[in-house]
Amino acid sequence: MYLTTSACTKCAKCWEVCPTDCIKHPDGIPFSCTTCGICASVCPTTAIRKNRFGGYYVDRSRCTRCGMCVKHCPFTFAKIVNDRVRGICIRCGKCVDVCPVNARIDILKSVKQPIDYAVLLEVATPERLKAIIEGKPIEIKAEATK
């Protein structure tokens, strides 16, 4: 999962380069698919699979376009466009490479494994992300995995 720091100038390069269209930008602040894997867990044909970078890809030969991943994505990233599932982060790192001010950070590299996605998802809502970027305190209710 990648987060955006306050260094972001809202230049749009990251979401323009993202090959899976998984970066939303509320108020111009990039917010990308968290790679929580909920889509993969609900897919009835196991079409959504983890890749070696820790992201997810969709095996088109298995995908029936049933829409379960779209329905269950907590942040409405997953979508079906032109008969293909889109919006799920493959962790290619292009958004990091293209950012001129190094505002994109890979949180998977900086937090202890295994990640408690209940905590991560609570932190990663667009509203909370905006608060983090603006330097406001946030309250985390779920308990972190020890």
Cβ proximity to ligand SF4, 61 vs 141, nearer residue: 61
User: Out of 12, 140, 142, 144, which residue is the one contacting ligand SF4 (CB under 6 A)?
Assistant: 12
132 near ligand SF4 (CB under 6 A): no
Four-CA torsion 122, 69, 145, 4, nearest 10 degrees: -50
| Whether the Cβ atoms of residue 34 and residue 120 lie closer than 8 Å to each other | yes
The residues in 104-123 that bind ligand SF4, with binding defined as CB under 6 A, are: 104
Could you tell me which stretch among 41-49, 107-115, 120-128, 135-143 binds ligand SF4 (CB under 6 A)? 41-49
Q: Given CA atoms 72, 18, 91, 137 in this order, what sign does their dihedral have? A: negative
Of residues 100 and 138, the one with the C-beta less far from ligand SF4: 100
Phi then psi for residue 34, to 5 deg, are -85, -5
Cα–Cα distances in angstroms (integers) from residue 59 to residues 50, 56, 66, 78, 83, in the given order: 10, 10, 14, 14, 13
Confirm or reject binding of residue 30 to ligand SF4 (CB under 6 A). yes
Interface with ligand SF4 includes 34 (CB under 6 A)? no
Rama region for 76: left / alpha / beta (φ>0; ψ in -120 to 50; rest): left
Q: Which residue in the set 3, 23, 36, 132 belongs to the binding site for ligand SF4 (CB under 6 A)?
A: 23
Spatial contact of 45 and 63, defined as CB atoms under 8 Å apart? yes
Q: Which residues bind ligand SF4 (CB under 6 A)?
A: 2, 4, 8-14, 17-20, 22-23, 30, 32, 43, 45, 47-48, 58, 63-69, 85, 89-95, 98-99, 101, 103-104
